[in-house]
Amino acid sequence: MTYENWLVTTATIQSCQWEDAPQTQSNLFVGYFIVRFSYTAEDKQYSGKFYSSHAWEEGTVLGMLHNPQNPEENCVCDEDESHGIFGWLEGIPLDVAP
């Protein structure tokens, strides 16, 4: 998927809850955090979630992308994945409207 036409915005972490791995998984996989966030696009509130290997503090604000054609479609990366997309986002002012 390409994100070149998606818009930059910010998301706020609403909750972060640990989820144990299903019993069918290997013993090496112990579980993950389900991180729920909210954001505003086109003057409307949206929410989403992603999975993380570490805990996120409620209220943390992070950069994200959303599809202007379908604002419910978004991309928020865990810090472990952030060197790609968030490295690109660091150079973009998040308070500037497109």
> Does residue 95 lie in a domain region?
no
Would strands 7-20 and 31-41 be described as parallel, antiparallel, or unpaired?
antiparallel
For the chain, give the percent of residues with pLDDT over 90: 50
**pTM of the model as a whole:** 0.72
> Does residue 49 lie in a domain region?
yes
> What total number of domains does the chain contain?
1
DSSP, collapsed to helix, strand or coil, labels residue 83 as helix
Bridge partners for 12 per DSSP = 38, 61
The parent domain of residue 83 ranges over 9-22+30-89
As a whole number, mean pLDDT of residues 41-54 equals: 92
Angle at 29 between CA 24 and CA 31, to 5 degrees: 90
Q: Which of 13-17, 20-24, 50-54 has the lowest mean pLDDT?
A: 20-24
pLDDT exceeds cutoff 70 at 97: no
As a whole number, mean pLDDT of residues 72-83 equals: 68
